[in-house]
């Protein structure tokens, strides 16, 4: 039985970033900014570009383990620095909705990483609401030309993880179980499909508890083999502001409740 729906969105309207290799040591720069500027000047393409600085004894302003790639921004819309665990290029991005995905997807693509979106949100009720949010995700994925996988919708199964926790407030115990259930689905899909890194858009919302999301993500990846949890703080580096801009630019449906029936007030 096929549990997933795959959507290939190949009508990309936006050219992906070009990558430039910049060498701190050759340039003798203090903090990398000169390298970024030089690379930008060489680019005759659009404004979206990434500079990849390979760590390994060369002078750089950012941390990171020797030998790992550190992505810095140049001419980008956000100033966040990301470091993909293991330097992986194949990233599975669990997405809860288009508004929460917006700045994260843009950030990743600007830095040369094209995530596959995994939409696992059986918490959302009713089904019409689920489809509405999915369609907004599809619209945004199509803009970037990235793949999106729709997990099976099974709200009855999700209700089991919420049993006895119906009266919990948001950010309470029910939410931790909810995150675990959805991220476990994502981790299982990642393990079965050759993804070594998993992260989520869940923590981009200020209504969510970062620690709960992180705990659930780590737990989910521990249940499978070969998948590393990427605990990036997706609110920093201007991502929150950029998210608000994109919501307006794209005229996204921006829901007023989290998703489950217990979050409707």
Q: Which residues bind ligand SF4 (CB under 6 A)?
A: 123, 170, 174-175, 178, 258-260, 262-263
Closer of 199 and 263 to ligand SF4 (Cβ)? 263
Least Å from the CB of residue 223 to ligand SF4: 19
Least Å from the CB of residue 137 to ligand SF4: 16
Closer of 27 and 261 to ligand SF4 (Cβ)? 261
202-207 LR contacts (CB < 8 Å, sep 24+):
202/94, 202/96, 202/100, 203/233, 203/234, 203/235, 204/100, 204/101, 204/103, 204/104, 204/234, 204/235, 204/239, 204/240, 204/243, 205/96, 205/100, 206/235, 206/240, 207/170, 207/171, 207/258
Q: Is the peptide bond before 166 cis (omega within 30 degrees of 0)?
A: no
Closer of 48 and 263 to ligand SF4 (Cβ)? 263
Least Å from the CB of residue 249 to ligand SF4: 26
Least Å from the CB of residue 171 to ligand SF4: 8
Closer of 111 and 174 to ligand SF4 (Cβ)? 174
């Amino acid at each position: 039985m096929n549990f997933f729906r795959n959507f290939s969105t190949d009508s990309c309207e936006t050219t992906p970033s070009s990558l430039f290799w910049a060498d701190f040591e050759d340039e003798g720069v203090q903090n990398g900014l000169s390298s970024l500027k030089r690379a930008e000047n060489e680019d005759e393409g659009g404004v979206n570009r990434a500079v990849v600085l390979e760590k390994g004894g060369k002078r750089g302003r950012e941390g990171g383990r020797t030998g790992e790639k550190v992505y810095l921004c140049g001419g980008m819309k956000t100033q966040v620095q990301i470091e993909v665990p293991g330097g992986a290029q194949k990233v599975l991005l669990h997405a809860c909705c288009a508004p929460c995905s917006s700045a994260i997807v843009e950030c990743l693509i600007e830095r040369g990483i094209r995530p596959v979106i995994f939409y696992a949100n059986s918490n959302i009720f009713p089904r019409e609401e689920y489809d509405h949010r999915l369609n907004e995700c599809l619209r945004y994925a199509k803009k970037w030309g990235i793949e999106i996988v729709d997990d099976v919708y099974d709200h009855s199964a999700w209700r089991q993880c919420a049993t006895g926790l119906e009266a919990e407030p948001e950010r309470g115990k029910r939410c931790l179980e909810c995150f675990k259930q959805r991220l476990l689905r994502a981790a299982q899909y990642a393990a079965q499909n050759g993804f070594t890194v998993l992260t989520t858009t869940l923590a981009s919302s200020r209504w969510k508890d970062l620690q709960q999301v992180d705990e659930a993500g780590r737990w989910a990846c521990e249940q499978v083999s070969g998948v590393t949890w990427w605990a990036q703080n997706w609110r920093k580096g201007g991502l929150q502001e950029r998210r608000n801009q994109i919501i307006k630019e794209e005229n996204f449906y921006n829901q007023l409740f989290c998703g489950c029936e217990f979050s409707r007030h």
